[in-house]
Chain A
Amino acid sequence: MALLTKEEVQALLKKVLSYSKADECEVNLNGTDSANIRYARNSVSTSAKVSQTQLAVSSAFGKKLGIATINEFDDASLEKVVRRSEELAQLAPENPEHVSFLGPQKYDEAITYVPETANITPRLRSDLVAESLKVARDGKAVAAGFLEDNNGYSAMMNSKGLFAYNTSTNTNFSITVRTEDGRGSGYATRGYNDVRKLDTKRATQIATEKALKSADAKAIEPGKYTVILEPAAVAVLLENVFFRLDARQADEGRSFLSKAGGGSRLGEKLVDERVNIYSDPLNPELPTSTWSGDGRPQEKVSWIEKGVIKNLSYSRYWAEKKGVKAVPGPDAAIMEGGTKSLEELIAGTKKGVLVTRLWYIRDVDPQSLLLTGLTRDGTFYIENGKIQYPIKNFRFNESPIIMLNNLEELGKVERTVSVESNQNYLLPPLKVRDFTFSSLSDAV
């Protein structure tokens, strides 16, 4: 089905609600057109174009809830999905934590939609890939990459009068370039709402440069090092903090934000006072939806301010129980940075390690948020303000909380993409002391 305008969506959702016989009914609708091109060994391997639309109906009888979904939109199908959700609700056990749906809300106008991205042509897509391939081939290197773009809308309406609608576009690009002999590897990733900002040629040049420069890596002893983490490396560490801001987990005593003796560490200073982390749906560099999936407005929220845990996210049930505002979890996160470029951070470093990217990040201990993973695609030794030589990759064991206490400097913020979750963030490169590398890896 083609992407629907606000008016078309409104008419469709009203029709769905008109079939409802439940105490309360809520309808969510999502539609996306997406396309991707994947390449490896300097040649395109797969490409696809996918259109998906899904309608979900939630019907509630008292505290019994049933949810049904459908991807057909004729009148009979719409009535069928409403009936099905009602049948499922009648069969469901009572959920004591069910909270009545929200009434009408006021939302800011989102800035997530860029027509140029929505109107990407197959030609532009293949040109973007061709430019990337040319850089790698000219550099006598081997490229593997992935380009995807999405154009979609989401909407919701319920029997209590709430209506929300948003359109958004996004494009993500990642590129790994390896030397022909496999001894060097480089990487770059980019994410934008506006495809005009995407420069696949420049990103591939950076990855190629890193690949060529990272061959002949020397082994240095594992241990504690001052590191400069590029934003793509910062993303995969810090998102483990962003993902775990849930108040209930903390209150229940099973989060790194739980406090000895009970309760959470909300309001406590946990990290360096230069750390400020917030979310803002209207940030022009990283816009997100102005409402969350359950209809709550998404507003600018400060999560960590001057190193202090300023806010936690709440489900509506937990907020009601605790008598606080039900702040939804963020859709993206922004960390304030400094003014220095990556090059300036390197220039000010006596001894250290430059990390392009981190890989295979997993929890080791949720109590301390200890994470493990490895460096990848460009790890270099810095001495006297200059990159001296490539070094072999390391495994690290480090907690982002400990890391944010060992902060030396913050660089200039840029938009980056997490290779683990595909989420986009605005993050600075970070210079951190005593980062724990625990063993060497032969991987290139």
Chain B
Amino acid sequence: MKRRDFVQLTGLGLGGLLLPFPMMGNSVSPEALLEIPITIAQKKQLADVALNTAKSLGATYTDVRIGRYLNQFVSTREKRVQGIQSSESYGVGIRVIANGTWGFASTNQVTTEGVNKATTQAVAIARANSKFQKEPVILAPAPGYGEVVWNTPIQKNSFEVPVSEKVDLLLNANSEAMKNGANFVSSNLFQVNEQKYFASSDGSYIDQDIHRIWPTFTVSAIDRASGQFKTRDALSAPMGMGYDYMIPKKEDKLQTPFGMTLYGNSYDIVEDAIAAAKQAKEKLTAKSVEPGKYDMVLEPNHLGLTIHESVGHPLELDRILGYEANYAGTSFATLDKLKSGTFNYGSKVVNIFADKTQPCSLGAVGYDDEGVKCKRWDLIKDGIFVNVEAIRDQVHMIGQKESHGCCYSQSWEDVQFQRMPNVSLAPGKESYSLAQMIKDVEKGIYIAGRGSYSIDQQRYNFQFGGNVFYEIKNGEVIGMLNDVAYQSNTQEFWNSCVKICDEKDYRLFGSFFDGKGQPSQVSAVSHGSSTSRFNGVNVINTARTI
């Protein structure tokens, strides 16, 4: 889904909507999502058609992606269902190198004839584009893995759960929020299943079944007399999981010393909706923040977005090289800083790694969309910038021989390109809890959940809001705050990181709709961290009167 579609989905778009929300394929019945239209053996046969045709036409490399992308979206508001959408997008994308140039074509005709036609088209496009090519594509080698399978290790397939059960759960959460003081509540459940088959002329035939889920809501509280309104969003995270995420487990709940409940690898939407209603109401009378310098205590479901924007994006090699200059931008993290081996991205306690294998994460797959086996690698080690995020056709530009395995396409019909892997902050090595961290802070602010976010096109200057804010004074949380946003500079911010809680506090934040490229493509990515402390960060007050 493009950002502008998402903007419309959230009710902010211009113009009349054709549909209650954008289709990400053709709508089908929920039962149809469970049908299997094609076997692995049939996919291999079709893939071989493309590989052989491309080779006979002179392609020096070919990959084929047969994809069935399933989405289900349930949307409710207060007591009623706004929409239920089940959709399927099914087709084949074929990418070739001919005359040293990429060519790509796709078709929804998943037949020998359709595949043959698209392959021929991809080769023709490659040849036509080769006149613009300055240097031939150089692909880092990737071993052929033969016939392999990888599945998201889910316990309960979301698509097997009756829609009525999902509707009941959301309506129950809404009802509890209303009972606890909410004036309005809307809740949504997104579920994704990518059934992807990849084959390449390197000798890989990879079948993957990938699941993702995202329950979320917004609770509003209104003071009609003053005309003030405040919202509190869900403290859930989108996850690379099945419906198991929706079944609350005691061991996944974390209690803060000041009475908030936070969630790990399972979520209690009803409990969180009740808390949200109470907090939204409390926000209406909470103290407005005094601007100035504070020590920030940032919770994983908040810090994830800061990691995403200030580390995940600037370390994308295609951005660093200038391929995204006209849209997403370039990067302050230049190759000379990488090569120096001494660039202090952060303080010594900061260890940030990329990991496409992290369980329950949105980016977890066995192999990326160009057949590279996924792995974990360091980006920032003991505060030093040590590596970037790269794929097969660019990694040679930094003198490395192996792709990092972070190539992705949002569907069979779009060409794959470099996307951000899961980028996470390693937990502190010593035993250290949130309670201890708060005790150590004299003048600080605790932030949970995501809020407003903005960063410049080279990823220096950023500003983040949050979902809930608490004031910390002399080692204690003394009350809720409003109107908080912090501004910093990436290098300065990560160098102000003085403490990170241990692995018991480690959780994943996620983004379902990270946009990049022209035309824009989305991808889903997680960021893990433990609650972390950043000293002396500049906080502004965002209240205005109009």
A: which residues have CB within 8 A of B?
A: 28, 30, 36, 38, 40-41, 43-48, 50, 54, 56, 67-71, 84, 87-88, 91-93, 95-97, 142, 144-146, 148, 174-176, 178, 182, 239, 242-244, 246, 249, 252-254, 256, 258-262, 270, 292-294, 296, 328-333, 359-370, 372-374, 376, 393, 395, 397, 399, 401-402, 419-423, 438-444
Contacts and interface: CB of A to CB of B under 8 A. Distances in A.
A374 B167 contact: no
Given A249-B11, A329-B14, A395-B454, 4 more contacts: A92-B81, A145-B326, A246-B11, A258-B229
A40 B323 contact: yes
B437 interface: no
A252 B225 contact: no
A260 B225 contact: yes
Contact of B487 (A258, A260, A292, A438): A438
Contact of A176 (B325, B332, B546): B325
Contacts of B81: 92-93, 95
B457 interface: yes
20 contacts: A68-B26, A88-B27, A88-B84, A91-B163, A144-B326, A145-B326, A146-B326, A253-B227, A261-B224, A296-B16, A329-B16, A333-B14, A364-B465, A372-B452, A395-B487, A397-B485, A399-B546, A423-B14, A439-B461, A443-B332
Q: Give the size range of B's interface with the partner.
A: 35 or more
Contacts of B163: 91
B16 A254 contact: no
A38 B456 CA distance: 22
B26 A441 contact: no
Contacts of A260: 224-227
Given A67-B27, A253-B224, A360-B454, A328 B544 contact: no
A30 B16 CA distance: 14
Contacts of B461: 374, 393, 395, 439-443
Contact of A182 (B4, B14, B330): B330
Nearest to B220: A254
B139 interface: no
A261 B225 contact: yes
Contacts of A444: 458
B26 A370 contact: no
A56 B19 contact: yes
Contacts of A69: 19, 23, 26-27, 87
Contacts of B3: 420-421
B483 interface: yes
A89 to B, nearest CB: 11
Nearest to A254: B229
Contact of A97 (B7, B14, B80, B456): B80
- The winner among A261, A363, A365, A422 for most chain B CB atoms within 10 A is A365
B326 A176 contact: yes
B454 A88 contact: no
Contacts of B327: 146, 174, 419
Given A260-B227, A393-B456, A364 B27 contact: no
Given A439-B461, A440-B461, A92 B84 contact: yes
B519 interface: yes
Contacts, number: 241
Interface in B345-386: none
Contact of A442 (B20, B108, B458): B458
Contacts of A363: 452
B518 interface: yes
B285 to A, nearest CB: 15
Contacts of B20: 67
Contacts of A438: 487, 540
Nearest to B321: A41
A336 B23 CA distance: 36
B250 interface: no
Contact of A252 (B184, B330, B453): B184
Tell me the interface secondary structure of chain B in the complex: loop
B452 A362 contact: yes
Contacts of B489: 442
Contacts of A441: 456, 460-461
Closest 6 pairs between A and B when the two form their complex, measured CB to CB: A292-B16, A260-B227, A293-B16, A441-B461, A144-B325, A443-B456
Given A30-B18, A92-B81, A402-B546, A70 B457 contact: no
Interface string B525-546: 0000000000000101011111
Contact of B17 (A270, A293, A439): A293
A364 B485 contact: yes
Contact of B29 (A84, A95, A145, A294): A84
A439 B362 CA distance: 34
A48 B104 contact: yes
A84 B84 contact: no
A68 B26 CA distance: 7
Contacts of B220: 254
A148 B323 contact: no
Given A71-B108, A330-B15, A146 B454 contact: no
Interface stretch (B127-135, B197-205, B467-475): B127-135
Contact of B546 (A333, A369, A423): A369
B326 A84 contact: no
A365 B463 CA distance: 13
B154 interface: no
Given A45-B323, A95-B81, A370 B542 contact: yes
A421 B6 CA distance: 10
B455 interface: yes
A209 to B, nearest CB: 17
A364 B543 CA distance: 9
A368 B543 contact: yes
Given A44-B132, A364-B485, A364-B542, A293 B15 contact: yes
A134 B102 CA distance: 23
B41 to A, nearest CB: 25
A376 B183 CA distance: 40
Nearest to B4: A421
A365 B544 contact: yes
A294 to B, nearest CB: 5
A328 B15 CA distance: 7
B325 A178 contact: yes
A233 to B, nearest CB: 14
A246 B459 CA distance: 34
B184 A254 contact: yes
Contact of A294 (B7, B16, B132, B546): B16
Contacts of A395: 454, 456, 461, 463, 487
B118 to A, nearest CB: 13
A36 B415 CA distance: 13
A345 to B, nearest CB: 25
Interface in B207-235: 220, 222, 224-229, 231
Contacts of A249: 11
A41 B460 contact: no
A368 B546 contact: yes
Contacts of B413: 50
A69 B80 CA distance: 23
B38 interface: no
Contact of B460 (A30, A174, A443): A443
Nearest to A122: B128
Contacts of A84: 27-29
A402 B222 contact: no
